Amino acid sequence: MDRLRRWKNQLLGDVGTVFYLSLLLIAGFLAAAMVDPEAVQRQAQKILDATANNFGWLYLMATSGFVLFALGLAFSRFGSIRLGPDDEPPEFSFNSWLAMIFSGGMGVGLVFWGVAEPMMHFNSPPLGIGTPRTAEAAQTGMRYAFFHWGLHQWANFTVVGLAIAYVRFRHNSHGLISETFRPLLGDRVDHGWGKAIDTLAVVSTLFGVATTLGLGALQINSGLARLSGVPYGATPQLLIMAGLGVLFILSAMTPLKWGIRYLSSANMALAAGLLLFVLILGPTPFIFSEFTQTVGEYLGNIVQMSLVTTPYSSEHWVQQWTIFYWAWGLSWAPFVGSFIARISRGRSIREFVLGVMIVPVILSMLWFSTFGGSAIHYELFGNAGIADAVAQEVPAGLYVLLEQLPGGFYAAIGAIILVAMFVVTSADSATFVLGMFTSKGILNPTRFVRILWGLLQLLMASALLLSGGLLGLRTVSIVAAFPFMLLMVLMAYSLYKDLALESRRREERDKLLNERIERLLLRESEREAERLAAEETHPTAPETLPSEPEEADTVQSKDAAAGDQPG
């Protein structure tokens, strides 16, 4: 028995209730999805309709609030607080840090939607604004692509990442979602409430990452279909998932400082190469003109776009696009936020917020301007057939775009490799986070636990593909994100409460320290001279106690009474 216990501890490490409960819930869903995928899809759609119809506005309000909250912290008195000891330098260089943020964030999504989203809006304009396949529809589509991949999306990751990094590195607490609620729940985070929060974070993370892995499989399958004649369908996509699983396991066997770090840098290099390829050989002046105009429209309309709910019509566009994106980001928030927190030790809050929100947003806008803008240009002025390709097969737009450029065949091969690398990096990053959540917050979970969660991610992505393809991925991500969105609202309040408490303590400590230093450095005679100098500048008014006039009146009354008596 002791030998079995030692073997279990060596294999799993220090896991507990969250590990076993999460496995049970996920295994139950996988079993149902494998036995009757259509029934799972129908039930998920019912839940989605109820959620979106009754609480769609809450997705919009909460996500917009996270943007204001994160930027407010960055430029407040809390911005200088460091995520770790005050004198500790950052663990990773700035360039490596940004590369890991971008690769562990939404790299797969950018490649998948870079051409697809603007073209889908070009075919069917958002909210019925403009005529399909016109310049007006194209510009509206680009504005909404910027919006969906802008500040709101990255604010979700920022809030969760900042809350976890603060409690983990500033207070040396466990790197768990539940630990961020300690200012609100106290010791209850160590028991039932905390276990429920961490389990919900695990399930939400698994669904969110599985959605991205599924998109990656669709994108790779589409590229292989155009380059080599591989059929586009469920069987090739499952085989692709299996191949990605092998690559992921090899990456997961290496330490964080080696595997994910260098793979992320390679991702960034390849992504930059593909971006420059299209930017230089594509319609460069059009790309920069379109980028400039769309940035202006995005900033000028951000408030209106953030709060559109279409209550006077049966329009489902907001549900299908904006709410899907916000829910996708929310379901990714535990994973991406925890991973960013893991690599952000030593950064200040201001540096963290600006690095996570501003830099990736600018890169995302440049990516959409380059790929989406080029596709629009070739479609409007060259009738390239990109819009028709996207209408038939969503991920095909990228490869049809690359066919318009010299050397496009080789660029398409590079795009397939890039997607595969992004998928492997995302899966590898997620295994660290899921391992942390289910191993009581330790920074380096065992390899077996990481590989186990990686395999479950791949199984979940496969199940979602079988139960509805792209529509199934969208549906389940929205449903899974709703409860975690409510937790994030409380998490933001808890973080503010924690920061305010530390700020008050720092102010009190600084005040006390200054008083003590002043007493040590100033002699009694110097303090007296300082007091006299201040007295000459502003003479001190005599203070009269409230009782003194009454006493004076009493004395005068007694004297008068004595004088009235005969001598």
Provide the percentage of residues in the chain whose pLDDT is more than 90. 36
The pLDDT confidence band at residue 137, using thresholds 50, 70 and 90, is very high
Question: Where is average pLDDT lowest: 336-350, 414-428, 456-470?
Answer: 456-470
CB atoms within 10 A of CB 115: 30
Look up residue 90 and give its DSSP letter: P
Interatomic CA distance for residues 362 and 342, integer angstroms? 23
Tell me the per-residue pLDDT of 504-555, one tens digit each, with 9 for 90 and over: 888 888 888 888 887 777 666 666 777 777 777 666 666 555 555 545 455 4
The pLDDT score that the predictor gives to residue 305 is 94
Tell me the per-residue pLDDT of 250-304, one tens digit each, with 9 for 90 and over: 776 766 556 666 777 788 889 899 999 999 999 999 999 999 999 999 999 999 9
For all residues of the chain together, what is the average pLDDT? 84
Q: Are 339 and 435 in contact (CB under 8 A)?
A: no
Sign of CA dihedral 518, 524, 529, 533: positive
Cα angle for residues 337, 418, 98 (degrees, 5° grid): 35
Interatomic CA distance for residues 485 and 327, integer angstroms? 8
Residues whose CB falls within 8 Å of the CB of residue 112, separated by 6 or more in sequence, listed in order = 215, 216, 218, 219, 395, 419
The pLDDT confidence band at residue 370, using thresholds 50, 70 and 90, is very high
Tell me the per-residue pLDDT of 308-320, one tens digit each, with 9 for 90 and over: 988 777 678 888 8
Mean pLDDT value of segment 495-503: 92
The pLDDT confidence band at residue 65, using thresholds 50, 70 and 90, is very high
The pLDDT confidence band at residue 400, using thresholds 50, 70 and 90, is very high
Residues whose CB falls within 8 Å of the CB of residue 177, separated by 6 or more in sequence, listed in order = 160, 164, 197, 198, 201, 334, 338, 437, 487, 491
The pLDDT score that the predictor gives to residue 206 is 85
Query: For the CA atoms of 248, 249, 251, 252, what is the dihedral angle to 10 degrees?
Result: 110
The pLDDT score that the predictor gives to residue 547 is 53
- Is residue 433 scored above 90 in pLDDT? no
Residues whose CB falls within 8 Å of the CB of residue 382, separated by 6 or more in sequence, listed in order = 404
Q: Are 112 and 474 in contact (CB under 8 A)?
A: no
Tell me the per-residue pLDDT of 443-479, one tens digit each, with 9 for 90 and over: 678 888 888 888 888 888 888 787 766 666 667 767 7
- Is residue 503 scored above 80 in pLDDT? yes
Residues whose CB falls within 8 Å of the CB of residue 213, separated by 6 or more in sequence, listed in order = 108, 241, 244, 423, 426, 427, 457, 458, 461
Interatomic CA distance for residues 12 and 447, integer angstroms? 8
- Is residue 567 scored above 50 in pLDDT? no
The pLDDT score that the predictor gives to residue 114 is 92
Residues whose CB falls within 8 Å of the CB of residue 368, separated by 6 or more in sequence, listed in order = 110, 114, 117, 118, 142, 145, 146, 149
* CA-closest candidate to residue 306, choices 143, 425, 196, 511: 143
Look up residue 127 and give its DSSP letter: G
First to last CA, the chain: 111
Q: Are 329 and 153 in contact (CB under 8 A)?
A: yes
Interatomic CA distance for residues 22 and 12, integer angstroms? 14
Q: Are 86 and 509 in contact (CB under 8 A)?
A: no
By three-state DSSP, how is residue 348 classified?
strand
What's phi and psi for 124, nearest 5 deg? Answer: -140, 95
Higher per-residue pLDDT: 40 or 325: 325
Cα angle for residues 250, 255, 258 (degrees, 5° grid): 85
The DSSP-derived string for 454-522 is HHHHHHHHHHHHHTTHHHHHHHHHHHHHHHHHHHHHHHHHHHHHHHHHHHHHHHHHHHHHHHHHHHHHS
Q: Which residues of 286-306 are buried (b: 16+ CB within 10 A; e: fewer)?
A: bbeebbeebbebbeebbeebb
Mean pLDDT value of segment 494-501: 93
Interatomic CA distance for residues 379 and 286, integer angstroms? 13
The pLDDT confidence band at residue 424, using thresholds 50, 70 and 90, is confident
Pick left, alpha or beta for residue 315 (phi over 0 → left; psi -120 to 50 → alpha; otherwise beta). Answer: beta
Question: Where is average pLDDT lowest: 120-124, 192-196, 389-393, 422-426?
Answer: 422-426
The pLDDT score that the predictor gives to residue 540 is 64
Give Dmax over CA atoms of the chain in angstroms: 133
Tell me the per-residue pLDDT of 177-197, one tens digit each, with 9 for 90 and over: 899 999 998 888 888 899 999
The pLDDT score that the predictor gives to residue 490 is 94
The pLDDT confidence band at residue 23, using thresholds 50, 70 and 90, is very high
The pLDDT score that the predictor gives to residue 566 is 46
Pick left, alpha or beta for residue 484 (phi over 0 → left; psi -120 to 50 → alpha; otherwise beta). Answer: alpha
The pLDDT score that the predictor gives to residue 260 is 67
